[in-house]
Chain A
Amino acid sequence: MFAAIDDAQVLSVMPACQRGDAGAVARLYDLYADRIYRYVLARTGDQQAAEDLTADVFLRVVQHVQRFKLDSSRPAASVSAWLYRIAGNLVTDYHRARSRRQVVSIEAETPFALAVPDPSQQAERREALERLSGALEKLTEDQRLVVIRKFGDGMSNAQVAAWLGKTEGAVEALQHRALRTLCRLLGAKHGGT
């Protein structure tokens, strides 16, 4: 479980970001980058693309942070929701652009990929990630956010409920339906276990 980001941390960063403080933007990146990265990775299944898109999310933040209205009653949740909304839009654009062109993955030929000691293990892991991301794309956004934040970031149902502004019961129902959909989509392997 990752440490939750509290309101005080957000309040110490966002005003400086809005004033154009480059260091504050870097601190905001450090706070949220891993969470955004996992969300983007879960939806794209591509580590390199997830890294780039994560950086793009914060570039968007730099561009629009001055117009962002911080919710003083729940600053951390409002900033987090804003970041995930940007990330979701970028992933949607990524998938739309990817569907228009023939993508030839060169990841196996990159030095980073070659540096992995066990290429077969890496390929298997990448394949599982791609299958999972493909299945996650079939979920609704709320279901996706619930499973990613709960299982990817280790948040409790209460935290997810507070973050989404829903009840815990609603979050439990969302995760149940999300898991059942994923099992159906990923079918044979999980159905057999």
Chain B
Amino acid sequence: MNDKELTRSLGNCLDQLAAGEAIAACLAQHPEQAAELAPLLAMAVELGSLRGYGLSEAARRRAHARLLRAEVDRNSRDVTHGWRFGSLAVSRLAAGLALVFACVVLTTGMVAASQPGDLAYPVRTFVERAPVLLQATAEAKATVELRIADRRLADLETHLATKGEIAPAAIEALLAGDRAAAGRADELTQTERLLAASRVAAHAVALTNLARSAQQPLAEATLQAAAVEAESLAQHLERGSESEDTPSPTDAGPTEPPAAPAIGVPPASVTPIPESQAPEASTSAPLPTSGQPTRRNEMLSATPVPGRRATALAQTATAPIPTDTPQPSPVNTATNGPDTPVPGRRATALAQTATAPATVATDTPQPAPVNTSTSRPDTPVPGRRATALAQTATAPAPAATDTPEPSPVHTPAGGPDTPVPGRRATVLAQTATPAAAKSAGSSAVGTPLAP
């Protein structure tokens, strides 16, 4: 007999017992398995005694009471837990916001207080250029760019003063601002360009001064190179103004444009020039040469303090200029003369700058104090753009006496026909020293200066 048959027989017997039959009756149906089924059925009957057990009413009431208390406690806990969870969530949110705020404040503070050499300094230079994007006009953009460049210059000066080393990032940011301003030269008016040029030139002067004070040759060279580039940018701005006002060759002729007389070469009779120098006047004035430098170059080279703007200009001017460049034809000089600069040539611009103010200097009965100071080119000049510009505007006064007398063609025709150099000088002078400029402008032709 196997287990399966016994299991089946047990199942049948248990069903019969559940139906109310007696054990003996079940065993009688399975006589061959009775010996094995009997104890199993007896155990099943004993287990059936469990049915007689049940909870008393007292136990039920106690259980109900306990469950009720537990349910109330749970509900109150849920409320408290919900409140606590909500409070915790709010607290976490507030803490997170506070953390974010603190991070923002700290980061902003770090960035704002960063100096050249700090990790956050590039971020600062980048962020501080953001206001440029908010400006609508080119003038405003250029103004902001230059203001930012001023900050970079201040950073550079501070860094150099405190740590004794240059900050390439600041230099690059400074030049970037100047480049951006110069890049908008075409969109600016003449006055705006000249103002921007004066600021960029001031950067060049400051960089030159810093180069002089630099302890290391590499730093000096870097700063000097930056100064040269800044000066070049300033000249770009200045040339932009000149090229805008420069009449085209077809326009420039013996006839005098209405704007030309504003700032022009005075009549020959006004400026007594030694006869012996007359032949050189028409040839040396437009283009400087090494042998016969322009008045501007003379002035700059005569300036004893290197590192000033004049020095930078001299360096810039002398480098690209061919020394043996022939002079323009007398006709050109006479008709267009300084009014026709060599495009892209520093020498021509400088020549124009140097030549034109001669009128101012010579026409002025009583030279302004600036004239007096610039009449002594050996006097050290403070490294300020204003002074340098004034110097630029008025320096040729004493040089005018050294300048050979312009050719007759040049003097009367070129005078009113050369508005740009004179205007530039006057405006720059106006920017630098209004009093001197005023006197210069009024003494030149008596025409009010254009704004």
Residues on A lying within 8 angstroms of B by beta carbon are: 1-2, 20-22, 25-26, 29-30, 33-34, 37-38, 41-42, 47, 51, 54-55, 58-59, 62-63, 128, 132, 147-148, 150-154, 156-157, 172-173, 175-176, 179-180, 182-183, 186, 190-191, 193
> How many inter-chain residue pairs (CB < 8 Å) link A and B?
117
Quick one: which of A58, A63, A173, A175 contacts B63, CB cutoff 8 A? A58
If A55-B66, A190-B42 touch, whether A25 touches B51 (CB-CB below 8 Å) is no
Partner of A148, one of B6, B14, B50: B50
| Mask: chain B, 24-65; 1 = CB below 8 Å from A; 0 = not | 000000000000001110111011111101111001101110
Q: How far is the CA of A156 from the CA of B8 in the complex (A)?
A: 15
Q: For B48, B74, B78, which residue has the most chain A Cβ atoms within 10 angstroms? A: B74
Which of B7, B60, B63, B70 has most chain A Cβ within 10 Å? B63
Assembly CA distance A42 to B54 (angstroms): 11
Interface of B with A (CB < 8 Å)?
A: 3, 6-8, 10-11, 14, 18, 38-40, 42-44, 46-51, 53-56, 59-60, 62-64, 66-68, 70-72, 74-75, 78
Give the complex CA separation of A175 and B11 in angstroms: 9
Residues on the B chain within 8 Å of A179, using CB: 10, 40, 43-44
Q: How far is the CA of A59 from the CA of B71 in the complex (A)?
A: 8
Residues in B with CB closer than 8 Å to A41 are 50, 53
For A180, list chain B residues within 8 Å (CB): 40
Across the interface, which residues of B come within 8 angstroms of A34, CB to CB? Answer: 54-55
Instruction: Find out whether the CB atom of B60 lies under 8 angstroms from the CB atom of A183.
Output: no
Name the residue of chain B whose CB is nearest to the CB of A60: B70
Give the residue among A30, A38, A176 with the most B Cβ atoms within 10 A: A176
Smallest CB-CB separation from A153: which chain B residue?
B51
> What's the least CB distance linking A145 to chain B, in Å?
12
User: Closest CB of chain A to B36's CB: distance in Å?
Assistant: 9
Q: How many whole Å from A81's CB to the nearest CB in chain B? A: 20
Provide the residues of chain B in CB contact with A183, threshold 8 Å: 39-40, 42-43
The SS class assigned to the A binding surface is: helix
Contact of B7 among A30, A58, A153, A172 (CB under 8 A): A172
Chain B interface main SS type? helix
CB pair B7–A33 under 8 Å, yes or no, is no
Q: Are A152 and B51 in contact (CB under 8 A)?
A: yes
Across-interface contacts of A154 in B (CB, < 8 A): 18, 51
Query: Top 3 nearest A-B pairs by Cβ distance?
Result: A152-B50, A151-B47, A22-B71
Given known A-B contacts A179-B10, A179-B44, A51 and B55 have beta carbons under 8 A apart: yes
Query: In the complex where A62-B70, A151-B48, A154-B18 touch, is A172 in contact with B8 (Cβ < 8 A)?
Result: yes
The answer to whether B38 and A193 have CB atoms under 8 Å apart is yes
A26 touching B74 by the CB < 8 A rule? no
Instruction: Give B4's nearest chain A residue, CB to CB.
Output: A173
Closest-by-CB residue of A relative to B50 is: A152
Please give the distance in Å from B11's CB to the nearest CB on chain A.
5
Q: Are A25 and B67 in contact (CB under 8 A)?
A: yes
Q: How far is the CA of A30 from the CA of B72 in the complex (A)?
A: 19
Residues of A within 8 A of B72 (CB): 22
Given contact pairs A152-B47, A172-B8, A176-B6, A193 touches B67 in the complex (Cβ within 8 A): no
Shortest CB-to-CB span from A89 to chain B, Å, is 18
8 sampled A-B residue pairs with Cβ under 8 A:
A1-B18, A30-B60, A152-B48, A176-B7, A180-B40, A182-B43, A183-B40, A190-B46
**In the complex, A180 Cα to B6 Cα: how many Å?**
11
Determine which of B10, B53, B64, B66 lies in contact with A38 in the assembled complex, contact meaning CB atoms within 8 Å: B53
Q: With A182-B43, A190-B42 as given contacts, are A63 and B74 in contact (CB-CB < 8 Å)?
A: yes
Residue in chain A with minimal CB distance to B3: A176
Complex alpha-carbon distance, A65 and B49, angstroms? 32
CA distance A62 to B8 in the complex (A): 42
Complex Cα distance, B72 from A20, in Å, reads 9
